[in-house]
Amino acid sequence: MLNDLSSTLALLETRRSGKPRDLAGSGPTAAELDRILTIAARTPDHGKLFPWRFVLVAEEQRDALARLLRRALAEHDPGATRAHHDKEEQFAHNAGALVVLVSAPVHGHKIALWEQELSCGAAGMNLLLAAHALAYVGGWVTGWRAYDEQVRAAFCAPGERIAGFIFIGKPGTELEERPRPPLAAVARPWTAPDS
């Protein structure tokens, strides 16, 4: 049991994101991706609403995604340069698997929208941890694409939003550790209000 605990803590302490443009290889197998998504779905979910969905973009669909992004960029930013359009082409064809995380809250439900959105974020974090546990790296990105109406409509039903594009693959370069906040900067004891 102690070894299992140590392994779990080591996993949590070493997870880091990879830049999607730096990923290499084909990403997880279909069975591995099913396992990753099954683990991702084991998230806190007040009311058992499943207020999130995973949309898988297959390798053979990447050209269609590139066309969507180029069309959307032309409307989003009519002044976009060739380099901007090339960046969208590269984005659509990043290595690894692509999962679009969709926030799909149940509107008008007694469970607050905020709690449902938090559940979506937790599903995304579980996905990244599961990918890391299987020796993959995940890169969760948003950018203008996640907020563009044309792109949103291609992945979401009315009332839903794109929470992120998550690429899962092998790191093509060494992952860099980013600065982490000192614990004292983000954790403090509660001060009870005077009665």
Q: Indicate the residue type of 65.
A: L
* pLDDT tens readout for residues 142-181: 999 999 999 999 999 999 999 999 999 999 998 888 899 9
Q: How does residue 122 score in pLDDT terms, banded at 50, 70 and 90?
A: very high
146 Cβ partners below 8 Å, 6+ apart? 152, 161, 162, 163, 164, 165
Q: Radius of gyration of the chain from Cα atoms?
A: 19
Q: Residue 3's pLDDT is what?
A: 72
* Mean pLDDT computed over 70-86: 96
Region 53-69: what's the mean pLDDT?
Answer: 98
Question: Cα(141)–Cα(17) distance, rounded to whole angstroms?
Answer: 10
Query: Cα angle at 42 between 149 and 57, to 5 degrees?
Result: 40
Which residue spans within the chain are E strands per DSSP? 23-24, 52-57, 97-103, 137-141, 161-171
Question: Does residue 5 have a pLDDT over 80?
Answer: no
- Whether residue 38 is predicted with pLDDT greater than 80 in this model: the reply is yes
Report how far residue 81's alpha carbon sits from residue 19's, in angstroms, rounded to the nearest whole number.
23
Asked whether residue 2 carries a pLDDT value surpassing 90, the answer given is no
Q: What is the mean pLDDT of residues 179-191?
A: 93
Mean pLDDT of the chain: 95
pLDDT band at 71 (very low <50, low <70, confident <90, very high): very high
- Reading the block at residue 123, the tokens are 């599903």
- Tell me which residue of 113, 122, 115, 104 sits closest to 160, measured CA to CA: 104
The pLDDT of residue 34: 98
Residue 4: is its pLDDT beyond 70? yes
| CA–CA dist 69, 86 (Å, integer) | 10
User: 103, 122 in Cβ contact below 8 A?
Assistant: no
- Rounded-to-integer distance, Cα 157 and Cα 103, Å: 10
